Structure 1
Amino acid sequence: MKKALVMLATAISMSGAFAQTSAPASAPAGAASAPAGKAGHERNVEDRIAYLHTQLKITSAQESQWNAFADVMRGNGETMGQLFQERKAATNVSALDDMKQYATIAQAHADGMKRLLDAFEPLYNSLSPEQKKLADTTFHQPGGGHHRQHDKG
């Protein structure tokens, strides 16, 4: 179970919500190799935001919806980063406390995905048919698109 928690923690903390989707090899190199810690985590989120902005070919008319979506990604990333730092800092926790921490993280992730969906829907609705195809391909990856390629294995 501990390995599964570590893998989940890594996947969520390194990527932040939709940033968890698989990034093709053309994604920014920093997204895969940024150092651990708050600065590295923030850089990963920012790299993913920049990648998605380019990948989806966001237009100036879509910037307000895009900015709302990107702000939610940043907020979710910050929340998850804080929760994982707290979890990492906790020592000598009981099995019950460990499960409570995990439940808190899982609930924060679910809440964050709901906020992200609420921000993504107006953006998606503003996309052209070509952009929607790009979004559909980008976010729908084998295995549900919930892990970046370098997190597998």
Structure 2
Amino acid sequence: MKKALVLLATAVAMSGAFAQTSAPASAPTGASASASAPAAQAGHERNVEDRIAYLHSQLKITSAQEPQWNAFADVMRGNGQTMGQLFQQRRAATNVSALDDMTQYATIAQAHADGMKKLVDAFGPLYNSFSPEQKKLADATFHQGGPEGGRHHGKGGGKKAPASE
């Protein structure tokens, strides 16, 4: 179950943005857990922003494409925030029953599906504005790395796609 959760997080994580959100075997509790939450959130936000910057550069976004890009990037940020909150809630939960665990997982999976739909809807207008060269770059980048560019399905272990292909 934990491996499936990590794979789901990787798919949503924009190249590992949620790698730190999978619950460790001995998760901190009490004051230490609440003290580490702001640091984890800051790291998570930095990873999302790093992924956005990487894709902006990789896809060679033009100034004319900035409005569509900004809409897409905002969806990435929103998805990241939603998933970050769900994983933080999951880490904070203690003494959960099997039913509670499965319910949390279903909530995360549904949020992932909803987020992907929003991401696809935001990416369509951006992709349609791309030049043929940009479409080739996008096709190669996203094919290698999944919808947000983070590798999953057993290929590459969460590494970013090479900067030039």
Which residue pairs with 1:120 in the alignment? 123
Q: 1:138 to 1:31 in 2, by over 3 A?
A: farther
State the TM-score, normalizing by the size of structure 1: 0.79
Q: How many residues align?
A: 138
Q: Kindly indicate which of the two structures has a greater share of residues assigned to helix.
A: 1
2:139 is the alignment partner of 1:140: no
Could you tell me how far apart the structure 1 residues matched to 2:51 and 2:158 are?
15
2:49 is the alignment partner of 1:42: no
Could you tell me how far apart the structure 2 residues matched to 1:141 and 1:93 are?
37
Q: 1:71 to 1:31 in 2, by over 3 A?
A: same
Larger Rg: 2
Which residue pairs with 2:10 in the alignment? 11
Question: Secondary structure of 2:95's partner?
Answer: coil
State the TM-score, normalizing by the size of structure 2: 0.74
Question: Which of residues 101, 105, 108 is equivalent to 2:104?
Answer: 101
Could you tell me how far apart the structure 2 residues matched to 1:106 and 1:115 are?
14
Q: Which runs of 5+ in 1 are unaligned?
A: 22-29
Which range moved further: 139-148 or 112-121? 139-148
Q: Identity rate of aligned residues, in percent? A: 76
Q: 1:142 to 1:68 in 2, by over 3 A?
A: closer
